[in-house]
Amino acid sequence: MHAPSLRSFAAALLTLTASLLNGLRAADRLNVLIITTDDMSCDSVGAYGCPLPGTTPNMDRLAAASLRFNHAFVQVGNCMPSRNVMFSGRYPHNNRVEGFYEIRDPGYPVMSDLMKAAGYFTGIRGKVSHSTPDAAFKWDYVHDYAELGAGRSPTKYHGFAQEFFARCKKENKPFYFMVNSHDPHRPFYDPKGRGKNGEEVPSRLFKPEEMVIPSYLADLPKVREEYAHYFNSVRRLDDTVGRVLQALDDSGLASRTLVIFITDNGSSFPFAKANTYLASNRTPMLMRWPGVTKPGSVDKTHFVSEVDFFATFMDATGLPMPSGLDGRSMVPLLKGGEQDGRDYVFTQIDYTIGGPPKPMRSVQDARYGYIFNAFSDGKFKYKNNNEGQTFAAMEEAGKTDPAIQARVEMFRHRVPQEFYDLEKDPGCTNNLIHDPKQQPLVKRYQDRLRQWMIETHDHCLTAFDVRENPAQLAKAVANYPVLDKSGGTATEAGEEPDAKPPATDDKAAKRKANRAAKKEAAAKDAK
């Protein structure tokens, strides 16, 4: 049902763009370079107020030449669902990528499809399976994890970027190029044990005593140690950004290239990644469009998010705007204008890696944030792959420190509803949900979130409407829609492993074949 509509749309697009772009040289068309990080909180970047000096010199230089958004967000606090919001222009409950999997024939246009159909040369480095919902999409130029020093080699990113830009010039095509660093995803760079699989040493290493620990974590020696290792990886990411931008400058294509920098979610620590806190979803968002964006400018007012990327790129490149998008173009903001209706943002989690659904929904503006945790019943233990030695240290310290133990319990069990004064408490440590003085505000944000759920056809609405009734809420979560992999066979594409080296292509192929055979056998048994 979905595939014909997508093919029909692609055919119509080709017809439209053929006349629109006929006669235009590559030199007359805007290139698009998207640089993404893997698991980095906004406050890790110097230009965004990182308390640790000298962390990100290359990102800071990019910020000085770009428009910087202070209120920029990703919709989802984990990797693959987040990236698919970006490139579908739809929320997860509308693009059907609510977990870690790809779908075939999604039934809606995907940005990479449209750019390729319009004559763009498409390339990607790293996070390949995470970067489009369409498992069948073929990039023109691809290099992934194992070819990039486990996604952690600035030198290899530089070399492939040089090769890509040279190829575009040779073929006289504009480009759509995604550069996805695997830094600073776990495993972080530990000087004592890293450097395998082609990973490079960061240009600067940090010490535990330098660290400024965020308020949502406990300031413990083991936490400081792991946080220093995280910043080692942040610095290597910065090295990669610098090398890629250098390759772009050397190619002579920078003057007609829109450069975007963003992270896919917050850092992989408790209360950041895989949640809906400010540290989970606020992202650095830098956009450099020569001749359009004002260098060093800052948008301190508008709330923007990754769901707006699709419409923005279509608008900026002059391509036909598809219908059905949840986001809208930011081009008026890039040109220094204003837009109404950008006073708040909505974020969510549906599934993490494995296990049952963990529905979370949040609405926040510049002052307050409200969170609904549908899964929280006081019994279910929330776990994810972002705990590391930090959470282990907090669990140990909690045995003798009641304040730390309270944070441990909050992480494991949550509460159904949370409300924070983000101006006074950006770490979201003081839940005001039961404060009598805050109840009119709580109601306002609840109503705002509910209206968004209605407008976007969010299946979490059923649970939200019974949030005050524990029995009915448990039933709603138990009946939460399963992962919608309709449109064909899904290809599982989970997170990269914490410590294991990437498998060879042969081994990976064998494992994939074995999984397929097991699924087929199970299906026959079920019949």
Amino acid at 359: P
Find the Cα–Cα–Cα–Cα dihedral 132, 137, 140, 142, rounded to 10°.
60
Residues of the chain with pLDDT under 50: 1-4, 7, 11, 14-15, 18-19, 22, 487-492, 497-510, 512-514, 516-518, 520-527
* SS3 state of residue 289: coil
pLDDT of 25 reads 67
Alpha carbon separation from 117 to 120, 168, 258, 334, 364 (Å, rounded) = 7, 16, 19, 25, 37
Q: Distance between CA atoms of 187 and 15, rounded to whole angstroms?
A: 47
Domains of the chain: 2-337 (3.40.720.10)
Task: Please give the DSSP secondary-structure letter assigned to residue 103.
Answer: B
* Tokens standing for residue 238: 């910065």
What phi, psi does 492 have (nearest 5°)? -65, 135
Task: Quote the longest CA-to-CA distance of the chain.
Answer: 73
pLDDT of 106 reads 84
DSSP string of 115-156? HHHTTPEEEEES-GGGS-SBTT---SEEE-GGGGTTTT-HHH
Locate all alpha helices (DSSP H) within 335-413, ordered by sequence.
388-398, 402-413
pTM check: above 0.75: yes
* Tokens standing for residue 467: 């949030």
Cα of 26 vs its chain's centroid, Å? 30
Residues comprising the chain, all counted: 527
192, burial (CB in 10 Å: exposed 0-12, middle 13-18, buried 19+) = exposed
Amino acid at 505: D
pLDDT of 100 reads 84
User: In terms of C-beta distances under 8 Å and separation of at least 24 residues, what long-range contacts does 389-393 make, across chains too?
Assistant: 389/222, 389/223, 389/225, 389/226, 390/217, 390/222, 390/223, 390/226, 390/227, 390/269, 390/270, 391/270, 392/222, 393/218, 393/220, 393/221, 393/222, 393/223
Map tokens 């048994």 to a residue. 525
User: Is 335:377 a contact under the CB 8 Å cutoff?
Assistant: no
Amino acid at 310: F
Q: Distance between CA atoms of 232 and 240, rounded to whole angstroms?
A: 13
pLDDT of 84 reads 93
